[in-house]
Chains A and B, each alone.
Chain A
């Protein structure tokens, strides 16, 4: 599969990928290396993993990272309650049986490694997890195996495609970066964003689509606290077209009312009063 085919496959899932992102996915597949995606919030880093899983007909396993995430929540854990019950009920004759797959709770990472079908493993917002957790990941990401002391080493039968996302809450370790391919995903330019909107919502009027994209692009250049992402843009377009608006200039009230989809802090909301929006819309048209 060349990288052009990657783009086509993603486009079939309604995801418009830039050249570099497509190249990154292509190489990650060709070299069997994990892929680290960085970029501002709302540019579609998580979405690309979903689209890629759908394009390859693979199951998506998602691990959402958070502060305090540890091995027992991410990799595996023994099902102690069940083990205890089994002992009390004298179901197990010998100890070895207690530490068998039957009493193992698979968490996302082990599930991805032990899966027999191809899977896409999405490790979302890795920079939210603690630094120690990165160390757990190193063995998995370079060897694609997990060592369970009681069971031995479980190696992947099919190498999962691993996508990590980060948006710079904290600096990642060099050891982790070295094991990954890297792509920086930025906000799309006007044409790309327009094609994203038309791919996602074919029903939207061309004029409205142009206005939505134009205004959002202009807002991103303004000094916003929370820069509107692609998802917000899609929400806003859906809201406007749901309200029956076909031309923003004709329906300023609806525009103001629907801004709740786009601007998510009070300061941003105050920064976009009716006059400002009128001016932005005027510029686009």
Chain B
């Protein structure tokens, strides 16, 4: 491993350290000038000439969470040991987080969202509804739903419907947002008197309780974790569901969104981005491989093992958007759902197939999953989604 040869203008250690901090910042670390100073101080406190010791010291100082802690080694090598020269040269725009340590997980194929340059706008701004988004796997579904009187979600690709989907999601999220704590806290107005505070305030009035303080039950919002299937059989719904996820995230609740097909990835940050162009770029980067096979249980498994510990608690509603067609064993799905059920408050499965007239959960996966779901609801059309609101309110 060769040591990086710095240009002569980066003269002192301070300059290079500033460069290193900038390099980390470009890779998504939250660092500022103050941290450069602290890094110099930290190096003074250790034997800075020993690379291993300097690496550990800087890692302790500059990494902020488990993810950054893991990536630090690679980034350190990239900057100080020349391993990332290539990437450095490309000078990524500071707005786009570079997924430095990760290789592209999938080859883009058959999917309009990751199709090329124009996909930058596509993921978030819909095309004119010319049906191009109907992936080839959608054909079978299309013939089976022809005669439905209500329009199926896959036809709703125009901007209006997407906006509507977002609005529906916001309403749903609101329906489960407003929950109250069991315990009371002091508040400006509330149903109960705060005797302790009243007594305290009464001291300054010679022991007479004149100022009345109150206690109320503070809000304890429910959290939503939405896990959306974007595999082949779901491609036709993907765009509306993405809009739906975006709506959930924008609703002012604490929500988390994930996509999966054969792997799982977190898309909360990408969907929350107010710069729609940038969000679309990030999303299409992540959604490479849209429309491949499905591994529901494997994806949920990796969710539980990774994000799950943080994302799930007794106030979480897990919303799974999937048609339940998957390649893995139904038994595996049942097991993972059983574990999830114990960690989360409620599990809701929104199934686009369920709205069909003759639908019966014959897919092995759905049958296996059924005992662990708190609700298995249709999600094939916008009215159907909107009609879920009372169901959600009851959760």
Query: Interface with A: B53-61, B139-147, B163-171, B290-298, which one?
Result: B53-61
Q: Are A182 and B41 in contact (CB under 8 A)?
A: no
Q: Which of A70, A84, A88, A181 contacts B60 (CB 8 A)?
A: A181
Closest A residue to B181 by beta carbon equals: A68
Q: Which of B30, B42, B69, B310 contacts A27 (CB 8 A)?
A: B42
Q: Are A2 and B46 in contact (CB under 8 A)?
A: yes
Which residues in window 248-263 of A have CB below 8 A to B? Answer: none
Given A87-B203, A183-B60, A26 and B196 contact (CB-CB distance below 8 Å): no
| Chain A interfacial positions (CB closer than 8 Å to B) | 2-3, 19-20, 23-24, 26-27, 30-31, 33, 38, 68, 70, 78, 80, 83-84, 87-88, 95, 98, 167-172, 174, 177-178, 181-184, 225
Contact mask for chain B residues 24-56; partner A; CB cutoff 8 A; 1 contact, 0 none? 000000100000001001100111000011001
Q: Are A20 and B59 in contact (CB under 8 A)?
A: yes
Chain B contacts for A88, CB-based, 8 A: 207
| B339 contacts A by Cβ under 8 Å | yes
Q: Which of B30, B70, B313 contacts A178 (CB 8 A)?
A: B30
Q: Which of A3, A31, A98, A168 contacts B309 (CB 8 A)?
A: A168
Q: Are B310 and A31 in contact (CB under 8 A)?
A: no
Chain A contacts for B200, CB-based, 8 A: 78, 80
Residue tally, chain B, CB below 8 Å to A: 34
| B128 contacts A by Cβ under 8 Å | no
Q: Which of A3, A68, A167, A168 contacts B53 (CB 8 A)?
A: A3
Closest B residue to A267 by beta carbon equals: B339
| B89 contacts A by Cβ under 8 Å | no
Q: How many A-B residue pairs have CB under 8 A?
A: 88
| B93 contacts A by Cβ under 8 Å | no
Q: Are B45 and A27 in contact (CB under 8 A)?
A: yes
Contact mask for chain B residues 313-349; partner A; CB cutoff 8 A; 1 contact, 0 none? 1000000000000000000000000010000000000
Which residues in window 59-98 of B have CB below 8 A to A? Answer: 59-61, 63-66, 68-70
Q: Are A26 and B69 in contact (CB under 8 A)?
A: no
Given A30-B42, A168-B309, A182-B63, A84 and B203 contact (CB-CB distance below 8 Å): yes
Q: Which of A19, A80, A184, A225 contacts B196 (CB 8 A)?
A: A80
Q: Are B339 and A225 in contact (CB under 8 A)?
A: yes
CB distance from B266 to the nearest CB of A (A): 12
Q: Are A27 and B57 in contact (CB under 8 A)?
A: yes
Chain B contacts for A23, CB-based, 8 A: 46, 53, 56-57, 60
| B149 contacts A by Cβ under 8 Å | no
| B183 contacts A by Cβ under 8 Å | yes
Given A87-B203, A177-B65, A2 and B310 contact (CB-CB distance below 8 Å): no
Given A2-B46, A31-B38, A182-B69, A80 and B203 contact (CB-CB distance below 8 Å): yes
Closest A residue to B313 by beta carbon equals: A169
Q: Which of A33, A38, A68, A178 contacts B66 (CB 8 A)?
A: A38
CB distance from B309 to the nearest CB of A (A): 5
CB distance from B192 to the nearest CB of A (A): 16
CB distance from A191 to the nearest CB of B (A): 18
| B110 contacts A by Cβ under 8 Å | no
Docked pose: A78 CA to B200 CA in angstroms: 8
